[in-house]
Amino acid sequence: MIALRDLIDLVRAPAALSVPGDVVAGAAAGGTLGRRTVGLACSSVFLYWAGMAANDWADRHLDAVERPERPIPSGRVPAGAALGTAVGLTVAGLAVAGLAGGRRALAVTAPLAAAVWAYDVAAKGTPAGPLTMALCRGLDVLLGATTGSRTAAALPCALTVAAHTYLLTALSHAEVSGADPRLPAATLAGTAVLTAATVRGAAHDAWGPARPVLAGWYAAQFGLPQARAVADPSAQRVREAVSAGIVSLPALQGALAARGGAPRLGLALAAASPLARRLVRRISAT
């Protein structure tokens, strides 16, 4: 019998707090916020957890050497159970998306699920890895806008989240071995560009200061650990920056939701950041 705590470790449950904001930000941009957004967000969480379980299944032999404390190499979760969990969560994600958003949602969720599995079993560790993961997050944002007729309106928002994900994934490749300081320096510069693009035009924002405040909070949460990794590019500092990139994403999503005309919802999304930070101290997000 697998303990619940071990399943939580397997799917990195706290990291999923960064996921519903993708769908919410996309729905805000597309003008489709509503009850069906909740269902699409649940679908997104299931697919995220599926990806985490599939990741550990695919990496089980490497983790036996590099991270023997993880659920599979430590013997807490059998490899077959991890694979079954990943498949079951993928099916659940597709089913919930279909129920919540119909064919339009499935038209995005199906390639999203395929991209998740492609990353875990083939693209990870290759030059295509960051692009594949960025595609996953970009599709996740677009998923939120599929219940209306303005899905394309969410594209700028999707590209912003995808760019953040690209930077984060590129940085994560060095979280075991440490990095050349030029890597965190480059991702830090990219974070600054994303922040500037998100707050652009905020001085004329009819929704008040929510967008620049949230974008600034995102920049501080993710930028400061990256700056420390530039000064000390050890594996520990890089892992801290990667974890910060995961838990700071709700602040970026909140800024994007505010840009889409939902500032109160954006603030609610950003409120997940402190909770996620506390949880990842107990359960690693990476």
- The pLDDT value recorded for residue 15 is 80
Average pLDDT, stretch 169-193? 94
pTM of the full predicted structure?
Answer: 0.92
pLDDT range class, residue 256, cuts 50, 70, 90: very high
SS3 184: helix
* pLDDT of residue 5 exceeding 50: yes
Q: Map out the domains of the chain as residue ranges.
A: 4-280
Could you report the per-residue pLDDT of 31-45, keeping only the tens digit for each? 999 999 999 999 999
* pLDDT of residue 206 exceeding 60: no
How many whole angstroms separate alpha carbon 254 and alpha carbon 45?
Answer: 17
- By CB atoms closer than 10 A (0-12, 13-18, 19+), residue 93 is buried
Could you report the per-residue pLDDT of 95-124, keeping only the tens digit for each? 999 999 999 999 999 999 999 999 999 999
- The pLDDT value recorded for residue 125 is 85
- Rounded mean pLDDT of the chain? 92
pLDDT range class, residue 146, cuts 50, 70, 90: very high
- The pLDDT value recorded for residue 286 is 59
Residues in Cβ contact with 13 at an 8 Å cutoff, skipping those fewer than 6 apart: 49, 279, 283
Could you report the per-residue pLDDT of 47-96, keeping only the tens digit for each? 999 999 999 999 999 999 988 999 999 999 999 999 999 999 999 999 99
Average pLDDT, stretch 154-178? 94
- The pLDDT value recorded for residue 209 is 84
Q: Under a CB-based contact definition with an 8 Å cutoff, are residues 112 and 143 in contact?
A: yes
- As a whole number of angstroms, the longest Cα–Cα distance in the chain is 57
User: How much of the chain exceeds pLDDT 90, in percent?
Assistant: 80
Closest by CA position to 220, among listed 198, 193, 192: 192
The domain 4-280 having CATH identifier 1.10.357.140: the answer here is yes
In degrees, rounded to 5, the angle at the alpha carbon of residue 172 between the alpha carbons of residues 162 and 63 is 125
pLDDT range class, residue 203, cuts 50, 70, 90: very low
